[in-house]
Amino acid sequence: MDSNAVDLRTTLAAQPATRAVSVSLPSQVYFDLDQFQRVQKELLGQLGCPACTSGFDIRYDIQRRFVVDASLSVQASGLAQDPLSP
């Protein structure tokens, strides 16, 4: 084999088995293409390649917050003021 060639079996075996990344976004970012793309650019840069996903499985989710008080009452927090929340 050429000394400059890359053995993909070795390269792929060296990668972690799980390359899933979870990203939780406020709905106003999730539904705004310009903001979403800015977040994606920053995220990809932090993952090591600002131009591609570098083999990561990026899973986006809309932020959902709930607060449980001492009497076990569950209240949505931070969702009421957000008109795009599901």
pLDDT tens track for 16-62: 557 899 998 888 899 999 999 999 999 999 998 888 887 899 999 88
- In the predicted structure, residue 80 carries a pLDDT above the cut 60: no
φ/ψ bin of 5: left (φ > 0), alpha (ψ from -120 to 50), beta (otherwise): beta
Rounded to two decimals, the pTM is 0.58
Q: Which three-class secondary structure state does DSSP give residue 29?
A: helix
Continuous H helices in 1-86:
8-14, 27-30, 33-47
- Quick one: which of 80, 76, 56 has its CA closest to 65? 76
